């Protein structure tokens, strides 16, 4: 059994992975770029499970909130969180928790990992779009067209990649006794 300190270090490392993948950003017209954040969140939760996956996302958000430039485009601060794309960032926390709960109940395998990552994608897009509507004073239709429509196909691809790689890494970490079967 590993110590809590070990898991906190792993959690911090996972938050760093989210921060690094957040810098993969493809600008598209509108407020919201395509980023590696959703891929990273899905990957981290698939590997670490509910408790430490959600904690890693919380650490990532708190780092950005206090000014560490971890958000997409090396941005940081509360202004990003309350700005038009802030709902997506808050949605990552809900994604991590819901995705992790699903996998805890259904099992850590490729099929359930894909399903949980797709559910997580929907959760993040719902939070992001609702906040986009409010923060940018958009209609629901405009918020959907700017905040969901451009991300459906790439989101599905990211969910599949996060699930596939996440399960492989999780299995290897468990095999190496670096992660318990229930994290």
**CA-CA distance, 182 to 170, in Å (whole number)?**
11
- 4-175 maps to which CATH number? 1.10.1760.20
pTM of the model: 0.94
CB under 8 Å to 36, separation ≥6 — which residues? 21, 22, 23, 24, 25
Give the model's pLDDT for residue 181.
73
Which tokens in the block code for residue 13?
């490392």
What confidence score (pLDDT) does residue 182 get?
Answer: 65
Q: Which residues of the chain have pLDDT under 70?
A: 1, 182-183
């Amino acid at each position: 059994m590993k110590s809590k300190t070990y898991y906190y270090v792993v959690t911090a490392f996972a938050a760093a992975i989210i921060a690094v993948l957040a810098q993969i950003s493809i600008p598209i017209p509108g407020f919201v770029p395509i980023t590696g954040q959703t891929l990273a969140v899905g990957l981290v939760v698939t590997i670490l499970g509910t408790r430490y996956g959600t904690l890693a996302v919380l650490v990532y958000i708190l780092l950005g909130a206090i000014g560490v430039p971890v958000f997409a485009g090396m941005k940081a601060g509360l202004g990003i969180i309350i700005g038009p794309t802030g709902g997506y960032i808050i949605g990552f926390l809900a994604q991590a928790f819901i995705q992790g709960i699903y996998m805890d109940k259904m099992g850590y395998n490729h099929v359930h990992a894909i399903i949980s990552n797709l559910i997580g994608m929907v959760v993040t897009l719902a939070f992001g779009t609702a906040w986009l509507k409010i923060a940018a004073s958009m209609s629901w239709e405009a918020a959907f067209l700017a905040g969901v429509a451009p991300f459906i196909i790439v989101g599905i691809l990211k969910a599949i990649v996060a699930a596939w790689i996440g399960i492989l890494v999780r299995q290897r970490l468990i095999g190496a006794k670096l992660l318990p079967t229930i994290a």
